[in-house]
Structure 1
Amino acid sequence: EKAYGMTIPAKNVTQMDTGIIYTQVKKGSCTYGEVFTTDGRIKSMHLEVMQDDKKFFPNYNAAPVVNAKAFKKYPQIAQVIEPVTKALNNSVAQDLNAKVDVQGQDPHEVALDWMTSEGFVKQN
């Protein structure tokens, strides 16, 4: 509230599990809430993500993690992973997450299909 110069009466604030925010905003039961920008429900429910132009909320960007011993032995891992992380932006992640969370597709298949379509892996 302070960062954005807002005053919201305490009676208008409800603490909810982050997973329910999407459906409650969609239904009109609440005006807005904190969400994850890569969540597939945003597009499927036609929700609008407000811009955080004051940079109040921290970015929780996904990042690859590699075992230090493996990375030392195979430093080329970084070159393999780099194009994948560049291609996997918020919009792509939303679309892929929607396939899993909204359409019920298998997450491994969704990931493999995307990696294949982007040319990162080849299937026989």
Structure 2
Amino acid sequence: MSFKATKDMDIGLKYTAIGRDEVDAMPIFTTDGQLSIAPITVLQDDKHLYPSYMSGNVVRSEVLIAHPELRPVLESLNHTITDQEMAKMNYAVETEHQLPADVAHKFLVERNLI
């Protein structure tokens, strides 16, 4: 790709800049809180330029040995949060200043995970 000009800026400023037509394109994280309300189009990374940032659980083996009941609970969380849902939760924390524990608890209750 070739652009007339490029700029480095904080992620929070990127969304302001695109909203003011100061930039035409920008790299983003698909879980950015501001993305959940931004009137922009996210292009597919069909060339796989960016690595996947899917989250997962990391647990020490000795913890699972001592508490085998944790394995199915943690595995039940696999593939339960989409990028869009994570972006909305990030927005609630970053912009609406909700507590992360409250946002997570609400999500888990809505999903009948607790």
Please state which band the TM-score falls in when normalised by the shorter chain.
0.7 to 0.9
Flag structure 2 segments of 5+ consecutive residues without an equivalent: none
Count of aligned pairs between the two proteins: 114
Q: 1:10-67 CA deviation, whole Å, 9 max, x = no partner?
A: xx01122233222222221111111110112112122221111111111111222223
* Residue 48, structure 1, aligned to residue 69, structure 2: no
CA contact (8 A) 1:44 1:102 kept: no
1:1-124 correspondence runs (5 A): 6-9=1-4, 12-121=5-114
Q: How far apart, CA to CA, are the structure 1 residues paired with 2:45 and 2:105?
A: 32
CA contact (8 A) 1:42 1:48 kept: no
Which runs of 4 or more aligned residues in structure 1 lie more than 3 Å from their structure 2 counterparts after TM superposition?
none
Flag structure 1 segments of 5+ consecutive residues without an equivalent: 1-5
Q: How far apart, CA to CA, are the structure 1 residues paired with 2:105 and 2:61?
A: 25
Q: Which amino acid aligns with 2:15?
A: Y
TM-score (norm. length: structure 2): 0.85
Partner of 1:3: none
Structure of higher RCO (CA pairs closer than 8 Å, 6+ residues apart): 2
